[in-house]
Amino acid sequence: MSLVVTGAEVLQVVNMDLALEAAEEAFRAYGEGRVNMPPKSYLQLPKGDFRAMYGALSGEYEVCGCKWVNVHPENPQRGLPTVMAKIILNDPDTALEIADLDGTYITNYRTGAAGGLAARYLARADAVSLGVIGAGVQARMQIFATLRTRPINRITIYNRTLSRAEALQDDIISRCGLAVEVTTDPEAAVRDHDIIVTTTPANEPLVQSDWISPGTHINAIGADAAGKQELDPAILRRARIIVDDWGQARHSGEINVALSQGLLSPEQIHGSLGDVVAGKISGRQSDTEITVFDSTGLIIQDLALGFAVYKGAKERGLGEDKEFIPGLPAGA
């Protein structure tokens, strides 16, 4: 039997603390070699793309599975989400499907949690100000995740469309009661901020090197396909760079353009967040160091959070059991 869990039911289970817990275990498993994760595949379409992602985790989460997820940047103009997903979870021993989950909210939360986890391990302990480039769903999730891991008391949001930034401002103020400013000048959202988060689909740098102060941590979230970049390559040359996965980051992460243009060498990549979480390599080494986390999104994040949501749904009596293959033994 497979438990079918809708998006509305996922939202009854998932929260940022659960997502951060799952992210930490997923990245620790990566660092300890307890994952099987082939590279994601892309299906290019006229208005966007689909990504096929699949892999396996062992340890606390014994699960394998796949995700089918789109990125269509023009969808908000049609009243549709930019990102939508479906996640299938399987038992690695028997191959039986155990869950069929709406993956849209899981994707949103796990991406936010990766940024929050990076801030926990790479940002200065006394980081209190957050600058956000972009004002979409992922900007919101990155803010919530960062608030769980650092004592943020001031937020500045940049977006080309002021009304979107103001909508996010109102949401954050109503939920968290923090001081939130909005701007149509990206420099104002970056200069003199301890943590910077970039969440746009840009193909040209939005953040310039001379805006970045020593000691800043940057979560580069938006670049997730070849040709995308949000940061001036000069920032990367100044920084200690931590990727989620070298294989994905080099062809679709923030570093992909700088590498392809010879502005950055592979030797300048310090390592992976999983290796930092597992204690194999250092993270930040001084309060004046600039750190960058290049996040492309890993299937192990989806598997870990998806499995946690599946268990939570079962405990709450949510979802609907479906027998997709008739005649299987009882309990299968």
Which residues are known catalytic residues?
67
| 26 residue type, one letter | A
Distance CA 198, CA 206 (A): 9
Give the CB-side neighbour count of residue 182, counting CA atoms within 13 A: 18
**Rounded Cα–Cα distance for residues 332 and 323 (Å):** 9
Taking a C-beta distance cutoff of 8 angstroms, is the pair 220, 198 a contact? Answer: yes
Distance (Å, rounded) from C-alpha 165 to C-alpha 298?
28
Q: 44: how many CB neighbours lie within 10 A of its CB?
A: 8
Distance CA 49, CA 130 (A): 30
For residue 82, give both structure tokens: 């930019």
Q: What distance lies between CA 119 and its chain's CA centroid? A: 12
Report d(CA 27, CA 138) in Å as an integer.
Answer: 20
Rounded CA gap, 31 and 276, in Å?
A: 8
Maximum C-alpha span of the chain: 65
Interatomic CA distance for residues 248 and 226, integer angstroms: 10
